[in-house]
């Protein structure tokens, strides 16, 4: 494998993907897509509006009349073929994702795209093994539960893992027999265009459609349409509420993944030996820098027992200072660019808020000037702030390479701090004590608790939030039921009348 990937060349523009082909927007308007690597324009995509959404809805509804009766085998095989094509183009797609989002190529190769491939295969597999249920209620009455797709679903995708978050939603929706309209984030619409170029021919026309554009112009008519039967959203709380309001007008179900402020807790036994485990735990604390911190589950609050604070954090700061920044296309680069200029400015303002609130900067604390072409990109040093849990930097999702550290004296105090947040998406617990490793996670109000690991997202382990982090569980077969109805057949095998009338 080359150590430095070539910057991919995209087409001048892409259309929406509707009814099995790329289509120009009805009104002819496009917008520039820039890369956060250096701020340059990389392609154009449609600035769609309700007319384009309606065209996609027409295509999806037409396709649904047959797709809803497609066999499990057909759907499973299609997902497997999608996975195969992505795998054959693994590095090319990873390079496009790096260009689109700014993250380092080591992450798009080994995390994003690798997980995309596996995700399609996972849902291809589970639907072949799945069965409905039958209950004999009495000697002549049988209840059968048959899963049916929900219909035409809308999926609004975030910009932090553009293709992976799309795969998390597309794979189960297609596996369950739905037709899908995807609205990618306007900051990162490029990789799904390349994806559709590669796999579009495998999917019956109208079954998977992609509409580009801005939230208020393209996202709103999609989320509000009475012709949509379900909306899935990953993003922030206000837009989540707005989408739920739209869905309520149509009595539509929704699933929401709305972020977090995840605690990463280090108990004293972590420092019992200077061994491989300690090395892993130090890396676990530094995982806040993964994806430049632009992860809903970023371990943005480090809680360290006071007895090990000095020794442990010395190692964490040393490891953080060793993070190599540079061209995201270089395999040795550990951290790339923030996804956009507004994101960059927001993160920088939070670092200032932290300083103003009295947080101590243990490392980082400013923008990173990497020189050359990268000077026009959006780079921030990985930053650790020391403070207390009531500070705003401990409570608000910064969505950047910034973590905040505080200490605790007892397990009860650690739990109190961990749960003192509006959110409950992820958490980390690091300990060599077998009892702690079970009891502490059970007391944390979060949908995913990593124990002696962090930031793993394998298919087959359900992922989703408690509290204001949303509802619904992705990356697991239980996601299928978020995209299905239950048809209950209640059958009588008794020839005799009831006798009421």
Task: Give min distance, CB of 249 to other proteins, in A.
Answer: 10
User: Does 464 sit near other proteins (CB under 8 A)?
Assistant: no
Nearer of residues 170 and 298 to other proteins, judged by Cβ: 298
Tell me the site size for other proteins, rule CB under 8 A: 54
Residue 196 to residues 355, 367, 416, 475: CA-CA distances in angstroms? Answer: 45, 36, 46, 21
Distance CA 203, CA 461 (A): 27
* Residues between 132 and 171 that touch other proteins (CB under 8 A): 158-160
| Minimum distance of other proteins from residue 187's CB (angstroms) | 5
Judged by CB under 8 A, which stretch of 85-93, 115-123, 232-240, 408-416 contacts other proteins?
232-240
The residues annotated with a catalytic role in the active site are 257, 296
How far from 433 is each of 123, 147, 270, 306, 440, CA to CA, in Å? 35, 43, 9, 17, 11
Q: Are 180 and 485 in contact (CB under 8 A)?
A: no
* In the complex, minimum distance from the CB of residue 35 to other proteins, in angstroms, rounded to a whole number: 11
Give, as one character, the DSSP assignment of residue 339.
S
Cβ-contact 239, 157 below 8 angstroms? no
Q: Can you tell me which of 6, 135, 145, 245 binds other proteins, judged by CB under 8 A?
A: 245
62, 114, 142, 353: which one binds other proteins (CB under 8 A): 353
Taking the C-alpha atoms of residue 187 and residue 210, their distance in angstroms, rounded to an integer, is 15
Which range binds other proteins by CB under 8 A, 69-77, 147-155, 285-293, 351-359?
A: 351-359
Cα angle vertex 430, ends 380, 321, to 5°? 25
CB of 34 to other proteins, least distance (A): 7
Q: Which helix (H) or strand (E) holds 490?
A: strand 484-492
Task: Determine if 185 is a binding residue for other proteins (CB under 8 A).
Answer: yes
* Core vs surface per residue 19-42: b (16+ CB within 10 A) or e: bbebbebbeeebbebbbbbbbeeb
**According to CB under 8 A, which residues from 262 to 281 bind other proteins?**
none
- CB-nearer residue toward other proteins: 20 or 184: 184
Q: Which of 111-119, 202-210, 213-221, 472-480 is the region at the interface with other proteins (rule: CB under 8 A)?
A: 213-221
Residue 447, C-beta contacts closer than 8 angstroms, at least 6 positions apart: 424, 425, 426, 462, 463, 464, 465, 466, 469, 473
- Compute the least distance from the CB of residue 275 to other proteins, in Å: 35
Q: Which stretch binds other proteins (CB under 8 A): 197-205, 281-289, 302-310, 391-399?
A: 391-399
Q: Contact positions toward other proteins, by CB under 8 A?
A: 31, 34, 47, 158-160, 185-187, 214-217, 219-220, 234-242, 245, 257-260, 294, 296, 340-346, 349-350, 353, 356-357, 390, 392, 395-399, 422-423, 468-469
């Amino acid at each position: 494998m080359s150590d430095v990937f070539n910057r991919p060349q995209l087409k001048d523009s892409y259309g929406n993907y509707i009814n099995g082909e790329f289509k120009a927007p009805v009104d002819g308007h496009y917008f520039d897509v820039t890369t956060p690597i250096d701020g340059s324009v990389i392609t154009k995509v449609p600035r769609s509006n309700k007319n384009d959404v309606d065209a996609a809805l027409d295509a999806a509804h037409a396709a649904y009349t047959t797709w809803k009766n497609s066999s499990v085998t057909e759907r499973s095989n299609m997902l497997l073929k999608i996975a195969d094509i992505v795998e054959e183009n693994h590095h090319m797609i990873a390079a496009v994702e790096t260009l689109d989002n700014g993250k380092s190529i080591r992450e798009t190769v080994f995390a994003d795209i690798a997980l995309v491939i596996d995700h399609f295969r996972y849902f291809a597999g589970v639907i072949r093994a799945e069965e409905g249920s039958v209950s004999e209620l009495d000697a002549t009455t049988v209840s059968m539960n048959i899963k049916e797709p929900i219909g035409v679903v809308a999926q609004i995708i975030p910009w932090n893992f553009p293709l992976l978050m799309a795969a998390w939603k597309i794979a189960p929706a297609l596996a369950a027999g739905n037709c899908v309209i995807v609205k990618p984030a306007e900051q990162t619409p490029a990789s799904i265009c390349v994806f559709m170029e590669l796999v579009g021919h495998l999917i019956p026309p109208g079954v998977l459609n992609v509409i580009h554009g801005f939230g208020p112009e393209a996202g709103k008519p999609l989320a509000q349409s009475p012709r949509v039967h379900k909306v899935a959203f990953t993003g922030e709380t206000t837009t989540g509420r707005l989408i739920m309001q739209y869905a309520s007008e149509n009595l539509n179900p929704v699933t929401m993944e709305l972020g977090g402020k995840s605690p990463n807790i280090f108990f004293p036994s972590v420092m019992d030996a200077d061994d491989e485990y300690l090395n892993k735990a130090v890396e676990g604390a530094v995982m806040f820098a993964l994806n430049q911190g632009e992860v809903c589950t970023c371990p943005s609050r480090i809680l360290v027992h006071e007895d090990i604070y000095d020794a442990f954090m010395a190692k964490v700061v040393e490891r953080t200072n060793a993070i190599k920044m540079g061209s995201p296309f270089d395999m040795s680069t550990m951290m790339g660019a923030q996804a956009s200029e507004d994101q960059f400015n927001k993160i920088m303002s939070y670092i200032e808020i932290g300083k103003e609130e009295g947080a101590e900067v243990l490392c980082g604390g400013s923008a990173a000037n990497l020189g050359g072409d990268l000077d026009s990109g959006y780079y921030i040093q990985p930053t650790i702030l020391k403070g207390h849990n009531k500070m705003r930097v401990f409570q608000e999702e910064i969505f950047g390479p910034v973590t905040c550290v505080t200490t605790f004296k007892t397990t009860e105090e650690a739990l109190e701090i961990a749960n003192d947040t509006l959110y409950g998406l992820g958490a980390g617990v690091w300990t060599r004590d077998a009892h702690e490793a079970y009891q502490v996670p059970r007391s944390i109000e979060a949908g995913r608790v990593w124990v002696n690991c962090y930031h793993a997202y394998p298919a087959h382990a359900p992922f989703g939030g408690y509290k204001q982090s949303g509802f619904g569980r992705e990356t697991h077969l239980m996601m299928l039921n978020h995209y299905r109805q239950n048809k209950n057949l209640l059958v009588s095998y008794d020839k005799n009348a009831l006798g009421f009338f």
